[in-house]
A and B are shown apart, each in its own frame.
Chain A
Amino acid sequence: MSPVGLVVVSHSARLAEGVVELAAQMAGSVPLVAAGGTDDGGLGTSFEKIMRGIDEADQGRGVVIMADLGSAVMTAESVLEFLEDDRRARVLLADAALVEGTVAAAVAAESGAEVDAVVRAAEEAFPGATPEEAPEVGEPTSSAVVTLPNRAGLHARPAAILAGRLSQFDAEITINGADAQSVMALMALNARKGAQLVVEASGPDADEAVRLVREQVEHGFGEPA
């Protein structure tokens, strides 16, 4: 089933398109729709663009709306009020930072999260905030030490792949002490080519989670070395 979709609402058409471009790089299968600017291309927000965006982004599992400033939020809220009841139940407006929130939401959607979990991912991603507290791994039942082989290191795309896949496991897992199920926490590690990653996990899926990290890293996430 197709993932939860995202509609990015901004006063600026170019800003909305840019945020969509950034998120799409990390979440290729998520329906991402830019709804920026007014109908005639000026600065502002368009009720109709948002309405059409929801139509386009909703593949059945719902839509999360990301909005930038004051009246963009108001316009998005107004659209929600206009929706038919059955659809309104699966369209949510996130109270989140536009760029960080959209990226986090897209990653969550890519990993198969439901609409309420996608909103939560968006709202937990704050600009400049310290990454979420790492989970209590306790005594790891599974661990590995791997070295990053790819030229670009643990940048946005690999971080999204790891966090997205790992969030499907029932495991507490950290990489160099950071929450490995959080794309923001992984990116904040700023791990470059050659960096050693200490992977530790506990919980029912610990072995499988560590194996996934090892495989992904050893393949360099399919990127050039």
Chain B
Amino acid sequence: MTDLDAAWADRWLRECARVLAVHREELIDLDRAIGDGDHGENMDRGFQAVVDKLDDGPSESVAAALKVAAMMLMSKVGGAAGPLYGTAFLRASAAVGERESLDGPAVEAMLAAARDGIVARGKADPGDKTMVDAWSPAVVAAGRAADGEAAFAAAATAAEEGALATKPLVARKGRASYLGERSAGHLDPGAVSTSYILRAAVTAAVSEISAGGRP
């Protein structure tokens, strides 16, 4: 089992940047269908800024890494995703506190804090066709896992299912809500980017093992 420590947190954020760059066009297309089309570009730019900041040196703690992400996402993403993801990472950082590494309950608490921050900021409920529809099942799934890595794996899978389940929904929050019934039949871009971000946490945990890991 991989320690979900500061080095992992840095790898997670770098993996987010890589994955969101890869999926940039896909997120732009999803957002263009029901929003203003800037989500892919914004997320790519935001996480690239996170990586630039991480290049200054390794983070001292999980909380410090998450706070850097919060700060950079809020500053650089623009649009609603900036304050939403920024708040998520900020609350996650506070929930992690001084822990050196995360076990299952810590991951659940962290994801719950992130979800609560998004709900507080965006005022969306489950079923409104927003990123909350990925975060909410992720929190529930994380609560059923024994260790931190398993918690993230369960959370990522639940977020992916939650994102797919946004397709038939009619948007009730955000720009897409102006489209009414026409928003049905498309995935919510924020829910999709959430699933990429949570999957990246798992990849970052696994990648240490494949890279040799620790004894």
Q: Which residues of A contact B (CB under 8 A)?
A: 38-39, 42, 44-48, 70-71, 74-75, 77-79, 81-82
Q: Which residues of B contact A (CB under 8 A)?
A: 71, 74-76, 78-80, 82-84, 86-87, 90, 121-122
Q: Are B78 and A44 within 8 A (Cβ)?
A: yes
Query: CB < 8 Å: which of B75, B76, B78, B83 contacts A77?
Result: B83
CA A81 – CA B113 in complex, angstroms?
Answer: 14
The minimal Cβ–Cβ distance linking A95 to chain B, given in whole angstroms, is 13
Q: Return chain A residues, CB-CB under 8 Å to B75.
A: 39, 46-48
Q: Return chain B residues, CB-CB under 8 Å to A48.
A: 75
CA A46 – CA B82 in complex, angstroms?
Answer: 9
Q: Return chain A residues, CB-CB under 8 Å to B122.
A: 74
Q: List 19 A-B contacts (CB under 8 A).
A: A38-B78, A39-B75, A44-B78, A45-B78, A70-B80, A71-B79, A71-B80, A71-B82, A74-B80, A74-B83, A74-B122, A77-B121, A78-B74, A78-B83, A78-B86, A78-B87, A82-B71, A82-B74, A82-B90
Asked whether A47 and B121 contact (CB < 8 A) given A71-B79, A74-B80, A78-B83, the answer is no
The minimal Cβ–Cβ distance linking B91 to chain A, given in whole angstroms, is 8
Q: Return chain A residues, CB-CB under 8 Å to B86.
A: 47, 78
Q: Return chain B residues, CB-CB under 8 Å to A47.
A: 71, 74-75, 82-83, 86
Q: Return chain A residues, CB-CB under 8 Å to B90.
A: 78, 81-82
The minimal Cβ–Cβ distance linking A120 to chain B, given in whole angstroms, is 23
The minimal Cβ–Cβ distance linking A53 to chain B, given in whole angstroms, is 14
Q: Return chain B residues, CB-CB under 8 Å to A70.
A: 80
Q: Return chain A residues, CB-CB under 8 Å to B82.
A: 45, 47, 71, 75, 78
Q: Are B121 and A78 within 8 A (Cβ)?
A: yes
Closest chain A residue to B122 by CB distance?
A74
Q: Return chain B residues, CB-CB under 8 Å to A44.
A: 78-79
The minimal Cβ–Cβ distance linking A42 to chain B, given in whole angstroms, is 7
CA A45 – CA B170 in complex, angstroms?
Answer: 27
CA A39 – CA B46 in complex, angstroms?
Answer: 12
CA A71 – CA B77 in complex, angstroms?
Answer: 11
CA A42 – CA B36 in complex, angstroms?
Answer: 14
Q: Return chain A residues, CB-CB under 8 Å to B78.
A: 38, 42, 44-46
The minimal Cβ–Cβ distance linking A26 to chain B, given in whole angstroms, is 31
Closest chain A residue to B81 by CB distance?
A71
CA A62 – CA B193 in complex, angstroms?
Answer: 38
Q: Return chain A residues, CB-CB under 8 Å to B84.
A: 74
CA A81 – CA B86 in complex, angstroms?
Answer: 11
Closest chain A residue to B72 by CB distance?
A47
Q: Are A75 and B74 within 8 A (Cβ)?
A: yes
CA A71 – CA B122 in complex, angstroms?
Answer: 9
CA A34 – CA B84 in complex, angstroms?
Answer: 23
The minimal Cβ–Cβ distance linking B87 to chain A, given in whole angstroms, is 6
* Central interface residue in A44, A46, A75, by most chain B CB within 10 Å: A75
Q: Return chain A residues, CB-CB under 8 Å to B74.
A: 47, 75, 78-79, 82
Q: Are B76 and A74 within 8 A (Cβ)?
A: no
Query: CB < 8 Å: which of B71, B76, B80, B83 contacts A39?
Result: B76
Q: Return chain A residues, CB-CB under 8 Å to B87.
A: 78, 81
CA A171 – CA B156 in complex, angstroms?
Answer: 63
Which 10 pairs from chain A and chain B are nearest by CB? A44-B78, A74-B83, A47-B74, A71-B80, A78-B83, A47-B75, A75-B83, A38-B78, A48-B75, A74-B121
Q: Return chain B residues, CB-CB under 8 Å to A75.
A: 74, 82-83
Query: CB < 8 Å: which of A38, A42, A71 contacts B83?
Result: A71
CA A188 – CA B82 in complex, angstroms?
Answer: 40
CA A71 – CA B84 in complex, angstroms?
Answer: 9
The minimal Cβ–Cβ distance linking A16 to chain B, given in whole angstroms, is 15
The minimal Cβ–Cβ distance linking A19 to chain B, given in whole angstroms, is 20
The minimal Cβ–Cβ distance linking B115 to chain A, given in whole angstroms, is 16
Closest chain A residue to B174 by CB distance?
A70
Closest chain A residue to B94 by CB distance?
A81
CA A140 – CA B43 in complex, angstroms?
Answer: 63
Q: Return chain B residues, CB-CB under 8 Å to A46.
A: 75, 78
CA A70 – CA B122 in complex, angstroms?
Answer: 9
The minimal Cβ–Cβ distance linking A35 to chain B, given in whole angstroms, is 13
